[in-house]
Amino acid sequence: MTGDSTDARSIPVAVDSARSPSRGANGQRVRTLSKGVVGFVGLGRMGTAMAANLVAAGRSVVAHMRHPERLSELKALGITSTTNIADLFDCEFVVSMLPNDDSVREVVFGRNQSGLDGLALGLVPGAIHISMSTISTRATSQLAAEHARRSQGYVAAPVFGNPDAARACEIYIITAGASVDVERCLPLFDILGQQTFLVGSEPSAANLIKLAGNMMTATTLEVLGEVIALIRKHGLNPETFVDILTATMFGGRVHRIYGGKIAAQTYAAPGFVLPLALKTYA
């Protein structure tokens, strides 16, 4: 881990393990954080594997699904799920693993004008939104400001690694946010990934690094495709070519993992689809 700093926007919070709402002196409903409970939004290729790994590690997870037909699939993985996002509002943490800026904004600000079904209005003060999607720096700053306004934490934690790596708990997590908040998230990151890099207190820094990395991945894939096509056209074995390159000057993960797939022309069931890659350039 590298770097660290404190951010006065976030408050340390005493969490209460009771899940059911209690009553205040005037009889009003008092909401408390459910200690350790992790809400999860975005159960796709990456999110399903990550939520399942949290459950396997003994964490209590409540996942939000838009499609009721997937509830039994998640149940088979041991994941408790709900189609009502309000069921996540008392969680101490909510992880989002969504496709893009718009979907994360929708989840935070709500689908209707009242925003009542959004995390910002719904979460208890002191809860932390752990934003693991690859999103823009601008959206990140907006979301972080909204959560801070409501005394909630916002920790950016985008990841490197594909769904296979997510299943194997081998993703790399780039994180930034108030140190008091990041500290609380580290045990979750230790379950989900093989290494966590802390890059400061400004959440957008983590997203900038992730986007720069995605740009390098995309350009590397483009170059690999071109050179492997050249080798193939000349009747040489593309797999031998990739073996030579990765054993000599280009031993990085992107060259090894995707070079092998391009050489073998294994394109079925893509783990990372084009719209997700293209948003890096938006």
Ligand X SMILES: NC(=O)c1ccc[n+]([C@@H]2O[C@H](COP(=O)([O-])OP(=O)(O)OC[C@H]3O[C@@H](n4cnc5c(N)ncnc54)[C@H](OP(=O)(O)O)[C@@H]3O)[C@@H](O)[C@H]2O)c1
Q: Alpha helix locations (H) across the chain?
A: 45-56, 71-76, 101-109, 119-122, 137-149, 163-167, 179-192, 203-233, 238-247, 253-264, 274-278
- Binding status of residue 130 toward ligand X by CB under 6 A: no
Structure tokens at 125: 């003060």
Please select the residue that binds ligand X; options are 115, 213, 260, 271, rule is CB under 6 A.
Answer: 271
| Residue numbers 30-59 binding ligand X by CB under 6 A | 41-47
- Binding status of residue 134 toward ligand X by CB under 6 A: yes
- Binding status of residue 163 toward ligand X by CB under 6 A: yes
Least distance CB 100 / ligand X (angstroms) = 6
- Binding status of residue 122 toward ligand X by CB under 6 A: no
Cα-Cα end-to-end distance for the chain: 30
Q: Is 279 a catalytic residue?
A: no
Least distance CB 229 / ligand X (angstroms) = 23
Evaluate whether 95 touches 128 at the Cβ level (below 8 Å).
no
- Catalytic site residue from 210, 233, 261, 279: 210
Q: What does the angle CA 43 – CA 127 – CA 29 come to, to the nearest 5 degrees?
A: 110
Least distance CB 152 / ligand X (angstroms) = 19
Nearest-angstrom CA–CA distance, 16 and 22: 11
- How many C-beta atoms surround the C-beta of residue 169 within 10 A? 18
Least distance CB 254 / ligand X (angstroms) = 12
- Binding status of residue 86 toward ligand X by CB under 6 A: no
Q: What are phi and psi of 205, to 5 degrees?
A: -60, -40
Residues forming contacts to ligand X in the complex (CB under 6 A) are: 41-47, 66-67, 97-99, 103, 106-107, 133-134, 159, 162-163, 271-272, 276
Q: Which sequence positions are flagged as catalytic?
A: 210
